[in-house]
C-alpha cells in the first residue's frame, strides 16, 4: 500500500491522508472496511454508525481509499498505482476502482488474483484475535486449519462438479428422447405436406373455373357499355343544342330586363362625372395663374440674389487688392488683363445664350407640331380603345382557354398514367394559390394584371413537357409559365414607415411558391396616399400603389383611374371556388360520363366562339399596333423634348445670371481703373456692402418662402391633373362606351320560339336518359355478380395461399428437425469417443484404495490433509461409477502432491518458528493449559505466521498483537515483521 485516504469515517471528519512507512498508521478498521469480509453486509443503521458524528453539519457519506503499489503487476491492471475506494451513506454502499464504479464480487475477485485468499482471511489480524486463538479449543483450531487448507472451497466446488455431471447425464438422456420425437415428427410432416399439396391443387382448379366465369361476365358488361356510349354520343349532341338554346334564352331575358335600368344608371353617372370634371377644371384654372406668378417671382428673386452676391464679392475683392498689389500701376495692369478675359467670356456666354434661345424656339415649334399630331392620333386611338374595351372580356377567353387546355393536358397524363412528375410539378395559376383581404383586391389586381393567370411549375422541364403535349393536341389558348427552379429572386429591403407596407406581406400563400410571388409582387408597396407613393418611389426605386389602384412607378410614370370593384377578378375567383365546391357536391349525384360530355360540348361551343373572336382580334390588333407605335414614337419625342426643354431653360437662366455677374464685375473693374490704391473701402462702398448684405438676407428668406409656396401649388396641380385625367375622364369614356353598346331590342318572338325548341330537346334527352338508366341497372347487376364470383375466387386463393404457407412452414420445420438431429448425432458421437478414450477403472486400483483409512494415511498434525483425502475418496467413488479412470488418476496424483506439499511446508514452518523463538525458551512439547498467558499468545502468533507462510498474502496487518506478550518475547516477534508501526512505545 502507498496511501490510505479517509474522509467522514468514524472520527475522521475531514479528508486525511496516511503515507505508509511514515510512522503514522491509519486505523486498521479503515483498511478492514475496504478489504475484509467483516463489513461486507451492513444494514442502514450499521452504515450510519460508521459515519462521523460530531459538531457542525451532518456527514451524509464517508469513504476510505487505498492506493496500492502495482509495480510488480500483481493486480491485473496495466498501471503502477491502483486505487480502490469504498463509499457508504445512509442508502448506498459502492466500490470504485480507479474512479470507476464496480461490484463487490469484482473487488473480491481482483483481491484474490493479487493473493488475498478467500480461505485465509488472516492477512488482517485485528485486536483481540490473538487471545481468541490462544484460548480456542482444539475443534476450533481444526476447523481453522481446514478452512486455511481450502477444503471448504474444495467441497463447494466438488458439489458443483457432481451437479454438473448429473446434468450432463440428464442432457444425454434428453438428447436421445428428442431424437426419437424428431424422427416421429419428420414422418408426420411428410404425410401432412402431401395432403396439403392435394388440397392446394383443388383450390387452384376452383380459382381457374371462377376466373373463366368472370371473363364471360366482363365481356357482357363491355357490350352493354358500348351501347351506352352510343346513347351518350346521341345525348351529347342533344345537350349541345339544349345548352345553346338555354344560353340564347337567358341572354334574351337578361337583355330585355336589364337594358333600360342600366341606361338610366349610366346617364346619371355620366352627369355626375361631367360635374366633377368641370369642378376640377375650374380648380385647376384658379391654381395655375397663382403657380405661374409665384414661379416668376421666384425666378426674379434668384436672379437678383445672384447679382447682389456677385456685386458684394466684387467689393470684397476691391478691398483685398489694397494688400494684393504694391502699386497703382501693377493693379491697373492686372485689371486690364482681367477685363480682356471678361470680355472674351461675356462674348462666349452671349453666343451660348443665343444658341440656347434658338434651340428653345425649335423645341417649342416641334412641341406644338407633335401636340397636334398626338391629338389627332389620340382621337383615333380613343376610337380603337372603345372597340378594344368592348372586346376585352372576349379576349380574356384566350387566357381562360389556355388554363382549360393545361387542365386537359394534365388529365390526359393522368388517364394514360404517364409523366407523373409533370402532374406533381404543376401547381396551378397565381390567382389560385394565394388569398388576401377584400380591401386589397383592387391594388393586387392592378399590380399583377394578366400575371394573375401565369402558371406556376416546379422546373422548366415540366413546362416544356406540357407545351409539347399542348402543341401535339392542337389545343387553343395562351399560357405563360413561372418555373420555380429558374426564378432568381433576391430579398428586398423595405422602408420602415407607417405610411406604407409591402404588398407581399398581405398575401397568404404556401412558402414553396415564395419565389413566384416575390417575382410578381416583391417590388411593390401599398401606400396611404399618392403623395406618399411619389416620395417612396423616388427614394427607394420601388413601385407604389394606393388601395384605390393609383400607381407610381419607380421610373416616374403615374397611372390610375376608376376601377369597378364590383367586377373584381379576385372576388370572382373566390365566388368561383365556392361555386365549384357546390358544383362538386351536385356532380357527385350525377353520372360521371354525363358530366364529362356536357363539359366537352361546352368546350366545343366556346372554342367556336373563340375562333370567331380571334379572327376579329387579329384585324383590330394590326391597326391598333400601327397607331400605338406611331403614338409611342410621338410620345417619346414629346418626352424627350420636355426632358431637354427644362434643362435648357434652366441652363439659359444660369447663363444669363452668369452674364449679368460678369458684366457687373466688368463695370466694377472699369470704375476702379485709374483710381487710387486703397487698403480700405470708401465710405460709399462700405455702405453699399452693408446694403447688399441686408438685401441678400432678405432675398434668401423670400426665395425660401416662394419655393415652399411653389412646391405646394405644384403638388395641388399634379394631384388635380392626375385625378382629372386618370380617373374622371377615363371613367367618363367607359360610361360613354357602355351607353353606346346599350340598345333596345325586340326579342319577344325569338324568345318564344327558342323556348318551344328547348322543350322538344328536353323531351328527347329524357328518353335517351331512360334507356341509359336501364343499361346502368343491367350493368350494376352484372357487376354485383362479378363481385360475388371475385369474392369466391379470393376465398379460394386465400385457401391456396394458406395451404402454401402451411407447406412452406412444414418444410422449414422438417429442415430444422433434420439439422437438429444431425447435430445431436454428432454430439453423441463426440461423447462416445471421449468415453472410449477414458477406458474402465482397473479392479486392483479399486481394491487398493477402497480400504484406505486415517491410520494408513497418517500425516501427523496436518488435519487439513485428512479432509482432502476423504473428499478425494468420495469423489473417486463417484468417478468409479461413471468409469472415468483418467479423470480420477489426475485428481489422485494431485492429492498426493498436495499432501506432500503440506507436509514439507509444516516441517519448514515448524523449523522456522523454532529457530525464531529458540532464544525465548527451550523448545519442548507442552499442553496449552500448562502455558502462561504470554506463552499462549506466542503460540497463537506462531500458528498465524505458519498460516501466512502456507498461503502468503501481499501484506499483513496486525493490530496490537503484543498486547499479552512478555517483554522478552516482543523483540523476537518484531524481528519477524519487515515493517512495524509502533503506536505505544516501550523499552523494547
User: What CATH number is associated with residue 573?
Assistant: 3.30.70.1620
Model pLDDT, residue 546? 92
Closest to 307 in 3D by CA, of 685, 688, 657: 657
Number of domains, the chain? 2
Q: Is 884 helix (H, G, I), strand (E, B) or coil?
A: coil
Residue 409 CA to residue 182 CA, distance in Å, equals: 67
The C-alpha cell at 671 is 470704375
The CB density around residue 753, as the number of other CB atoms within 10 Å, is 11
What pLDDT band is residue 527 in, cutting at 50, 70 and 90? very high
Most confidently modeled range among 389-393, 431-435, 808-812, 859-863:
431-435
Model pLDDT, residue 982? 52
Model pLDDT, residue 516? 93
Model pLDDT, residue 784? 84
Residue 712 CA to residue 723 CA, distance in Å, equals: 17
**CB-based contacts of 58: which residues, under 8 Å, 6+ apart?**
none
Q: Is there a domain that residue 449 lies in?
A: yes
Rounded to two decimals, what is the model's pTM? Answer: 0.29
What pLDDT band is residue 520 in, cutting at 50, 70 and 90? very high
Model pLDDT, residue 521? 93
Residue 475 CA to residue 400 CA, distance in Å, equals: 12
151 pLDDT more than 80: no
pLDDT in tens, 924-958: 555 666 566 666 667 777 777 776 666 566 666 66
Strand 558-559's sheet: what is its strand order? 500-502, 524-527, 543-546, 551-552, 558-559
Give 61's strand partners.
89
**Cβ–Cβ < 8 Å for 114, 954:** yes
Model pLDDT, residue 917? 46
Q: Is there a domain that residue 563 lies in?
A: yes
Tell which wins on pLDDT, 783 or 876: 783
Q: Is there a domain that residue 525 lies in?
A: yes
Q: Phi, psi at residue 309, to the nearest 5°?
A: -65, -40
CA angle 651/657/662 to nearest 5° reads 120
279 pLDDT more than 50: yes
Model pLDDT, residue 872? 41
CA distances from 336 to 187, 319, 320, 340, 672 (A): 141, 18, 17, 6, 11
Burial class of residue 93 in the structure, from the number of CB atoms within 10 Å of its CB (0-12 exposed, 13-18 middle, 19+ buried): middle
Model pLDDT, residue 926? 59
**Cβ–Cβ < 8 Å for 236, 601:** yes
Residue 267 CA to residue 262 CA, distance in Å, equals: 9
Which residue has 360530355 as its cell numbers?
Answer: 597
Range of the domain at 571: 420-468+479-591
Residue 476 CA to residue 470 CA, distance in Å, equals: 8
Mean per-residue pLDDT for 552-556?
A: 83
Tell which wins on pLDDT, 660 or 91: 91
What pLDDT band is residue 835 in, cutting at 50, 70 and 90? low
Q: What is the largest CA-CA distance in the chain?
A: 168
Query: Is the sign of the CA dihedral 883, 889, 892, 894 positive or negative?
Result: negative
Burial class of residue 775 in the structure, from the number of CB atoms within 10 Å of its CB (0-12 exposed, 13-18 middle, 19+ buried): middle
Q: Is there a domain that residue 864 lies in?
A: no
**Cβ–Cβ < 8 Å for 363, 641:** yes
What pLDDT band is residue 898 in, cutting at 50, 70 and 90? very low
Which residue has 489426475 as its cell numbers?
Answer: 890
**Cβ–Cβ < 8 Å for 321, 677:** yes
What pLDDT band is residue 386 in, cutting at 50, 70 and 90? low
748 pLDDT more than 50: no
Model pLDDT, residue 508? 92
Mean per-residue pLDDT for 128-157?
A: 68
Which residue has 491485473 as its cell numbers?
Answer: 76
970 pLDDT more than 80: no
CA distances from 738 to 382, 396, 560, 621 (A): 14, 18, 20, 21
DSSP H or E run through 930:
none
Model pLDDT, residue 895? 45
CA 157 to chain centre: 62
**Cβ–Cβ < 8 Å for 295, 646:** no
The C-alpha cell at 427 is 401547381
Mean per-residue pLDDT for 862-882?
A: 42
Q: Is there a domain that residue 425 lies in?
A: yes
Q: Phi, psi at residue 682, to the nearest 5°?
A: -70, 165
DSSP H or E run through 5:
strand 3-7
Q: Phi, psi at residue 16, to the nearest 5°?
A: -125, 135
**CB-based contacts of 911: which residues, under 8 Å, 6+ apart?**
none
B/e letters for 335-368, b = 16+ CB within 10 Å, e = fewer, are: beeeeeebeeebeebeeebeebeeebeebeeebe
Tell which wins on pLDDT, 862 or 631: 631
498 pLDDT more than 70: yes
pLDDT in tens, 302-344: 777 777 887 777 776 666 666 666 666 776 777 777 777 778 7
Strands 957-958 and 558-559: unpaired
CA angle 396/399/402 to nearest 5° reads 145
Mean per-residue pLDDT for 617-636?
A: 56
The helix/strand count (H/E) of the chain reads as: 22, 18
pLDDT in tens, 188-207: 766 767 777 777 777 777 77
Mean per-residue pLDDT for 156-181?
A: 68
Q: Is there a domain that residue 188 lies in?
A: no
**Cβ–Cβ < 8 Å for 331, 677:** yes
Could you tell me the end-to-end alpha-carbon distance of the chain, in angstroms, rounded to an integer? 27
What pLDDT band is residue 87 in, cutting at 50, 70 and 90? very high
Q: Which of 565, 591, 617 is the last residue of a domain?
A: 591
Model pLDDT, residue 985? 44
Tell which wins on pLDDT, 74 or 628: 74
Closest to 942 in 3D by CA, of 130, 90, 10: 130
Say which DSSP state 90 is in.
S
The C-alpha cell at 137 is 479449543
Q: Is there a domain that residue 270 lies in?
A: no
Burial class of residue 830 in the structure, from the number of CB atoms within 10 Å of its CB (0-12 exposed, 13-18 middle, 19+ buried): exposed
DSSP H or E run through 67:
strand 61-69
**Cβ–Cβ < 8 Å for 677, 322:** yes
**Cβ–Cβ < 8 Å for 309, 698:** no
pLDDT in tens, 1-19: 778 899 988 888 888 888 8
Mean per-residue pLDDT for 548-566?
A: 75
Model pLDDT, residue 745? 43
Q: Which of 79, 114, 149 is the last residue of a domain?
A: 114
Q: What is the mean pLDDT of the chain?
A: 72
**Cβ–Cβ < 8 Å for 525, 543:** yes
Q: Phi, psi at residue 958, to the nearest 5°?
A: -115, 135
Tell which wins on pLDDT, 392 or 104: 104
Q: What is the DSSP string of 207-238?
A: HHHHHHHHHHHHHHHHHHHHHHHHHHHHHHHH
Which residue has 503487476 as its cell numbers?
Answer: 73
**CB-based contacts of 90: which residues, under 8 Å, 6+ apart?**
44, 47, 48, 60
Strands 455-457 and 481-483: parallel
Model pLDDT, residue 961? 67
Q: What percent of the chain shows pLDDT beyond 70?
A: 57
863 pLDDT more than 70: no
Q: Which of 591, 618, 639 is the last residue of a domain?
A: 591
Closest to 933 in 3D by CA, of 969, 980, 959, 985: 969
Mean per-residue pLDDT for 810-838?
A: 71
What pLDDT band is residue 456 in, cutting at 50, 70 and 90? very high
Strands 124-125 and 481-483: unpaired
- CATH number, domain of 77, equals 3.40.50.300
CA angle 324/330/336 to nearest 5° reads 105
**Cβ–Cβ < 8 Å for 429, 482:** no
pLDDT in tens, 908-928: 544 554 454 444 444 455 566
Model pLDDT, residue 929? 60
Model pLDDT, residue 616? 54
230 pLDDT more than 50: yes
What pLDDT band is residue 501 in, cutting at 50, 70 and 90? very high
Q: What percent of the chain shows pLDDT beyond 90?
A: 6
pLDDT in tens, 765-802: 887 788 788 878 888 888 888 888 788 878 877 877 77
Residue 672 CA to residue 664 CA, distance in Å, equals: 12
462 pLDDT more than 80: yes
The C-alpha cell at 958 is 496486525
The C-alpha cell at 414 is 393522368
Mean per-residue pLDDT for 46-52?
A: 85
89 pLDDT more than 70: yes
Model pLDDT, residue 507? 93
Amino acid at each position: 500500500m502507498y496511501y490510505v485516504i479517509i474522509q467522514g469515517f468514524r472520527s475522521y471528519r475531514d479528508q486525511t491522508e496516511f503515507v505508509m512507512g511514515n510512522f503514522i498508521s491509519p486505523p486498521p478498521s479503515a483498511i478492514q472496511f475496504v478489504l475484509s469480509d467483516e463489513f461486507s453486509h451492513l444494514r442502514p443503521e450499521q452504515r450510519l454508525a460508521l459515519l462521523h458524528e460530531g459538531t457542525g453539519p451532518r456527514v451524509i457519506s464517508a469513504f476510505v481509499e487505498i492506493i496500492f503499489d502495482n509495480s510488480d503487476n500483481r493486480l491485473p491492471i496495466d498501471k503502477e498505482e491502483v486505487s480502490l475506494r469504498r463509499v457508504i451513506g445512509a442508502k448506498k454502499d459502492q466500490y470504485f476502482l480507479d474512479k470507476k464504479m464496480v461490484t463487490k464480487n469484482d473487488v473480491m475477485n481482483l483481491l484474490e488474483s493479487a493473493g488475498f485468499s478467500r480461505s485465509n482471511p488472516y492477512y488482517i489480524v485485528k485486536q483481540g484475535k490473538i487471545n481468541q486463538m490462544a484460548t480456542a479449543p482444539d475443534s476450533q483450531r481444526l476447523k481453522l486449519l481446514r478452512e486455511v487448507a481450502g477444503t471448504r472451497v474444495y467441497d463447494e466446488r466438488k458439489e458443483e462438479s457432481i451437479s454438473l455431471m448429473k446434468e450432463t447425464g440428464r442432457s444425454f438422456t434428453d438428447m436421445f428422447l428428442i431424437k426419437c420425437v424428431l424422427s416421429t415428427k419428420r414422418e408426420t410432416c411428410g404425410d401432412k405436406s402431401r395432403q396439403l399439396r392435394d388440397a392446394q391443387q383443388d383450390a387452384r382448379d376452383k380459382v381457374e373455373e371462377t376466373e373463366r366465369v368472370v371473363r364471360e361476365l366482363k365481356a357482357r358488361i363491355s357490350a352493354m357499355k358500348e351501347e351506352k356510349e352510343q346513347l351518350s354520343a346521341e345525348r351529347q349532341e342533344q345537350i349541345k343544342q339544349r345548352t345553346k338554346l338555354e344560353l340564347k334564352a337567358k341572354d334574351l331575358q337578361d337583355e330585355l330586363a336589364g337594358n333600360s335600368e342600366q341606361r338610366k344608371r349610366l346617364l346619371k353617372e355620366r352627369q355626375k362625372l361631367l360635374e366633377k370634371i368641370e369642378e376640377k377644371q375650374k380648380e385647376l384654372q384658379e391654381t395655375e395663374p397663382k403657380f405661374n406668378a409665384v414661379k416668376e417671382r421666384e425666378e426674379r428673386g434668384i436672379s437678383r440674389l445672384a447679382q447682389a452676391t456677385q456685386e458684394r464679392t466684387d467689393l470684397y475683392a476691391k478691398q483685398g487688392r489694397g494688400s494684393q498689389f504694391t502699386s497703382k500701376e501693377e493693379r491697373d495692369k492686372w485689371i486690364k488683363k482681367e477685363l480682356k478675359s471678361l470680355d472674351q467670356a461675356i462674348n462666349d456666354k452671349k453666343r451660348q445664350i443665343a444658341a440656347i434661345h434658338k434651340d428653345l424656339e425649335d423645341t417649342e415649334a416641334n412641341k406644338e407640331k407633335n401636340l397636334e399630331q398626338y391629338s389627332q392620333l389620340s382621337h383615333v386611338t380613343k376610337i380603337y380603345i372603345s372597340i378594344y374595351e368592348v372586346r376585352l372580356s372576349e379576349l380574356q377567353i384566350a387566357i381562360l382557354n389556355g388554363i382549360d387546355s393545361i387542365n386537359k393536358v394534365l388529365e390526359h397524363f393522368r388517364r394514360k398514367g404517364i409523366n407523373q412528375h409533370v402532374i406533381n410539378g404543376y401547381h396551378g395559376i397565381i390567382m389560385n394559390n394565394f388569398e388576401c383581404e377584400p380591401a386589397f383586391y383592387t391594388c393586387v389586381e392592378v399590380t399583377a394584371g394578366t400575371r394573375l393567370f401565369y402558371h406556376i411549375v416546379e422546373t422548366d422541364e415540366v413546362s416544356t413537357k406540357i407545351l409539347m403535349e399542348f402543341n401535339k393536341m392542337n389545343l387553343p389558348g395562351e399560357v405563360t409559365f413561372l418555373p420555380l427552379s429558374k426564378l432568381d429572386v433576391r430579398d428586398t429591403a423595405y422602408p420602415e414607415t407607417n405610411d406604407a407596407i409591402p404588398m407581399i406581406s398581405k398575401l397568404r400563400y404556401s412558402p414553396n411558391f415564395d419565389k413566384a410571388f416575390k417575382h410578381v409582387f416583391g417590388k411593390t408597396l401599398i401606400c396611404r396616399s399618392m403623395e406618399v407613393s411619389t416620395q417612396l418611389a423616388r427614394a427607394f426605386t420601388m413601385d407604389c400603389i394606393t388601395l384605390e389602384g393609383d400607381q407610381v412607378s419607380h421610373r416616374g410614370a403615374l397611372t390610375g383611374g376608376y376601377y369597378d370593384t364590383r367586377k373584381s377578378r379576385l372576388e370572382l375567383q373566390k365566388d368561383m371556388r365556392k361555386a365549384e365546391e357546390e358544383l362538386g357536391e351536385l356532380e357527385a349525384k350525377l353520372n360521371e360520363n354525363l358530366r364529362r360530355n356536357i363539359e366537352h360540348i361546352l368546350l366545343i361551343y366556346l372554342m367556336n366562339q373563340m375562333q370567331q373572336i380571334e379572327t376579329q382580334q387579329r384585324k383590330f390588333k394590326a391597326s391598333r399596333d400601327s397607331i400605338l407605335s406611331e403614338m409611342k414614337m410621338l410620345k417619346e419625342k414629346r418626352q424627350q423634348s420636355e426632358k431637354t426643354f427644362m434643362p435648357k431653360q434652366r441652363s439659359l437662366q444660369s447663363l444669363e445670371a452668369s452674364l449679368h455677374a460678369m458684366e457687373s464685375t466688368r463695370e466694377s473693374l472699369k470704375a476702379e481703373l485709374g483710381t487710387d490704391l486703397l487698403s480700405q473701402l470708401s465710405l460709399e462702398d462700405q455702405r453699399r456692402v452693408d446694403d447688399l448684405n441686408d438685401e441678400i438676407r432678405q432675398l434668401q428668406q423670400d426665395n425660401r418662402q416662394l419655393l415652399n409656396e411653389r412646391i405646394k401649388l405644384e403638388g395641388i396641380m399634379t394631384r388635380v391633373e392626375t385625378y382629372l385625367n386618370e380617373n374622371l375622364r377615363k371613367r367618363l369614356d367607359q360610361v360613354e362606351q357602355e351607353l353606346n353598346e346599350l340598345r333596345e331590342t325586340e326579342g319577344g318572338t325569338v324568345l318564344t320560339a327558342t323556348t318551344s325548341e328547348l322543350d322538344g330537346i328536353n323531351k328527347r334527352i329524357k328518353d335517351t336518359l331512360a334507356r341509359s338508366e336501364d343499361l346502368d341497372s343491367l350493368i350494376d347487376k352484372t357487376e354485383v355478380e362479378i363481385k360475388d364470383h371475385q369474392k369466391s375466387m379470393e376465398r379460394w386463393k386465400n385457401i391456396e395461399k394458406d395451404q402454401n404457407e402451411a407447406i412452406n412452414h412444414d418444410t422449414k420445420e422438417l429442415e430444422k428437425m433434420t439439422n437438429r438431429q444431425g447435430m445431436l448425432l454428432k454430439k453423441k458421437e463426440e461423447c462416445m469417443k471421449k468415453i472410449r478414450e477414458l477406458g474402465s477403472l482397473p479392479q486392483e486400483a479399486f481394491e487398493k484404495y477402497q480400504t484406505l483409512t486415517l491410520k494408513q494415511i497418517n500425516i501427523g498434525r496436518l488435519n487439513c490433509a485428512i479432509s482432502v483425502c476423504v473428499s478425494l475418496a468420495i469423489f473417486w467413488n463417484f468417478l468409479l461409477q461413471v468409469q472415468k479412470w483418467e479423470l480420477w488418476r489426475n485428481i489422485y496424483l494431485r492429492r498426493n502432491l498436495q499432501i506432500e506439499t503440506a507436509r514439507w511446508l509444516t516441517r519448514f514452518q515448524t523449523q522456522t518458528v523454532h529457530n525464531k523463538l529458540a532464544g525465548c525458551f527451550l523448545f519442548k512439547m507442552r499442553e496449552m493449559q500448562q502455558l502462561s498467558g504470554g506463552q499462549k499468545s506466542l503460540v497463537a502468533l506462531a500458528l498465524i505466521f505458519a498460516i501466512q507462510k502456507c498461503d502468503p498474502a501481499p501484506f499483513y496487518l496486525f493490530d496490537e498483537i503484543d498486547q499479552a506478550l512478555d517483554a522478552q518475547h516482543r523483540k523476537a516477534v518484531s524481528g519477524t515483521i519487515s515493517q512495524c508501526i509502533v503506536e505505544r512505545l516501550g523499552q523494547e
